[in-house]
Each structure stands twice: as structure tokens, then as C-alpha cells.
Amino acid sequence: MSPLGGTGWSAKTIANYFLELAARDHVFLDPLKLQKLVYLAHGWSLLFLHRPLIRDRIEAWRYGPVVPDLYDEFKKFGGSAITEPATPAKGESGESIDARTKSLLDSVWQRYRNLSPIQLSMLTHEPGMAWDLVQREGEISPWGGPRIPNELIVDEFMRRQQELP
């Protein structure tokens, strides 16, 4: 399967999995950190599993890559820890994540869980990476922006792969 094809899961389903891991490990997880974890997991899925992790649109907002549905769901927490899971959209309840994808998510969690929201944000804002390329091309606002295409995200993660230990 092409890394650009496939449908993926709801970003809320993936977010809820990360929230379960955070609760299990007693790790602070605010909306900013959750956004970055979902984005990073999506990129690694494109590279290693050759399919999108999420079916939701990822946009280039002023403060980085954002999944608008996740932003809307968790904005009430501001900079505080998220204390409740996302409410599945109609038709999304009961989405289950396969073992291969859970393994990828567990690896992403192990790699990034101890980084602060700001550290993760700096990582996703690196020059020449997908968000940077898209935001340089046009006007973006704090709350909305152009779509970040999977083609740019997979290119970003091919470069990130070279940084892995």
C-alpha cells in the first residue's frame, strides 16, 4: 500500500490511546503535547507502516501542525493536563487499533513521552520540515491554515529516520 493511501483511524481514537498510556505511566499530557504526539505518530506510520495513521486533516497553524478536531475537543483544558478522553464522533465508537499500529504507538510514546510540550513543538517546527514548508508558502492564522499533505510529512520522516539512534 502506498504511504499516501488508506484511510486510517480517527485522530480521537489515537489521542485516546495516548491518554491511556499517559494515565498508566502518570505522565502529564496537555492538548499541545497530545497534538504533537498524534502528528509524530502519523508521520512514523506513513514511513514505517506505509499508511496514514489518521484520516483527519492536519493543518499548518501559526503554532505548528494541528488536527482541528483534536484542537476543538481538548481546547477547554488549555495548558492543563487532559483529564477525560475524547468523545467519539458519530459512527466512530468502537474503533479498535490493530496490534501492529499499537506497537508503533507504543514506540512513539516511549521515544517522546518525556519531552515537554515545548520541546515537541520545537521538533515539529524545525526548518525544512513539513510544517515549515507549508507555513512559508502562505498566510496562516492561529486557528486554521492550509493542509499539510502526507507527501511532505513522509519526506520529513524519511529525514527524521536518519536521526534515529
**What is the per-residue pLDDT across 30-52, written as a single tens digit (0 to 9) for each?**
999 999 999 999 999 999 999 99
Q: Provide the pLDDT for residue 6.
A: 58
Whole-number average pLDDT of the chain = 90
Helix axes 150-161, 130-137, angle to 10 degrees: 140
Least confident of 3-12, 33-42, 93-102: 3-12
pTM for the model: 0.92
112: amino acid identity, one letter: Y
The DSSP output letter for 33 is: H
Q: In 3-state terms, what secondary structure has residue 108?
A: helix
Q: Provide the pLDDT for residue 1.
A: 33
Percentage of the chain with pLDDT > 70?
88
Question: Which distant-in-sequence residues (6+ apart) come within 8 Å of 162 by Cβ?
Answer: none
What's the rounded mean pLDDT across residues 142-152? Answer: 86
pLDDT band at 136 (very low <50, low <70, confident <90, very high): confident
Q: Provide the pLDDT for residue 162.
A: 83
Whether residue 3 has pLDDT greater than 50: no
Confirm if 143 and 59 have CB atoms less than 8 A apart. Answer: no
